[in-house]
Homo-oligomer: A and B are copies of this chain.
């Protein structure tokens, strides 16, 4: 982990590269600009930050110098001075999952035009790594943190929020420097299963999420409630555990067949496992929705282009990202922590049909 970060490269007009010999075009500093414009550094700073009135002639001179020298203030220096970095940290669990990416898009849009940039790190679904990453972000003096599907406890979040404001998904929290958004997973799952029941299905299998996952358990609860409410007994043989990934959905489906269960519909705890289940069905020559109905959970961007398009419970992933970001920015600016995201909703597409 040795690193040499003192080298700066400068390319000559001939395309060769050589080590900067400090005489020439190292990134110009505010001091350089001041000299070139014949004013004091403070004046340049004032113009840059609009901190005070500056006479027009000096302003012109400075602006000219800035343009000519292609000057941009060194953010590390600014940050050191002001104690902030104009950066927010985002903690995801999997950097290449459509689930997080859609939220990241919301974050990106929420940051647009604010001057803030984001550094994204992944906790890889692991509390320790997550803690580690958050510490890293804090050492980098991020001005706030957005924690997506964090594995750490509420106390940990609260503790970190003593250093920088945090907004987190998947938990209910509301202090001056910590805010949480929680989706009603139980209700979402209820909606999904209720939809199936209304369509006349009675034997409904469930491909769950990982057993140690809160959201997953809430979805299981919703599945059970919908069944009970309709007077249908919950059959443990119809519930098989998955891990939210495609492969597990496929495996789960196959396990259901192997044990010769009877069912006319399947509710998968998330879209990804629904994709896997769909493939297992295809392989067996079972038609969807003609022979079996299928419902997912999340409404990933790809779910409107599966074959056939997937009926699912829509999570406002993009909105969550955008709203969380706006809330965080608000806290950073000393305003009250608040924000609300739209509720889950059933999106009926083409994988479910009347029994």
Q: CB distance B105 to A95 under 8 Å? A: yes
Q: How far is the CB of A227 from chain B (nearest CB, A)?
A: 28
Determine whether the beta carbon of B1 is less than 8 Å from that of A113. yes
* CB-based contact A9/B176 at 8 Å: yes
Does A203 reach chain B (CB closer than 8 Å)? no
Please tell me which one of the listed residues B7, B162, B279 contacts residue A10 in the complex, with CB atoms under 8 A apart. Answer: B162
**Is the pair B282, A307 in contact by a Cβ cutoff of 8 Å?**
yes
Instruction: State which residues 239-295 of A face B: CB under 8 Å.
Output: 246, 250, 275-276, 278-279, 282
Indicate if A309 sits at the interface (CB-CB under 8 A).
yes
Whether B305 pairs with A11 at a CB distance below 8 angstroms is no
- State whether A141 touches B17 (Cβ < 8 A): no
CB distance from A45 to the nearest CB of B (A): 15
CB neighbours (8 Å) of A231 from chain B are none
Interface residues of A in 66-119 (CB under 8 A from B): 72-77, 79-80, 82-87, 95-98, 101-102, 104-105, 108, 113-119
Contact status of A118 and B117, CB under 8 A, knowing A80-B80, A307-B279:
no
Identify which of B15, B76, B119, B308 contacts A141 (C-beta below 8 A): B76
In angstroms, Cα B113 to Cα A136, docked, is: 13
Q: Is the CB of A332 within 8 A of B5?
A: yes
B-contact 0/1 string along A139-179, CB 8 Å cutoff: 11101000000000000001101111100000000011100
In the assembly, what is the distance between CA of A243 and CA of B246, in Å?
27
Q: Are B122 and A108 in contact (CB under 8 A)?
A: yes
**Chain B residues positioned under 8 Å from A10 (CB to CB):** 162-163
Interface 0/1 of A35-47, CB less than 8 Å to B: 0000000000000
Q: Of B83, B113, B118, which is within 8 A of A120 by CB?
A: B118
| Alpha-carbon distance between A191 and B98 when the two chains are bound, in angstroms | 29
A102 to B113 CA separation, bound complex (whole angstroms): 27
Which residues of the other chain, B, contact A279 by a CB distance below 8 angstroms?
Answer: 305, 307, 309
Beta-carbon contact of B85 and A76 below 8 Å:
yes
A96, chain B: closest CB distance, angstroms: 4
Asked whether A96 lies within 8 Å of B163 as measured between CB atoms, the reply is: no
CB within 8 Å of B: which A1-22 residues: 1-11, 15-17
A84-B5, A332-B3 given; A101·B108 CB < 8 A: no
A65 near B: Cβ within 8 Å?
Answer: no
| CB of A334 closer than 8 Å to a CB of B | yes
Known: A120-B120, A177-B17, A307-B279. A115 touches B1 (CB 8 A): yes
Complex contact A141–B75 (CB within 8 A) = yes
Q: Does A200 belong to the interface (CB within 8 Å)?
A: no
Does B9 contact A73, Cβ atoms closer than 8 Å? no
What are 12 contact pairs spanning A and B, CB under 8 A? A3-B114, A8-B163, A27-B163, A74-B141, A76-B141, A87-B140, A96-B101, A96-B102, A96-B301, A117-B119, A120-B120, A276-B305
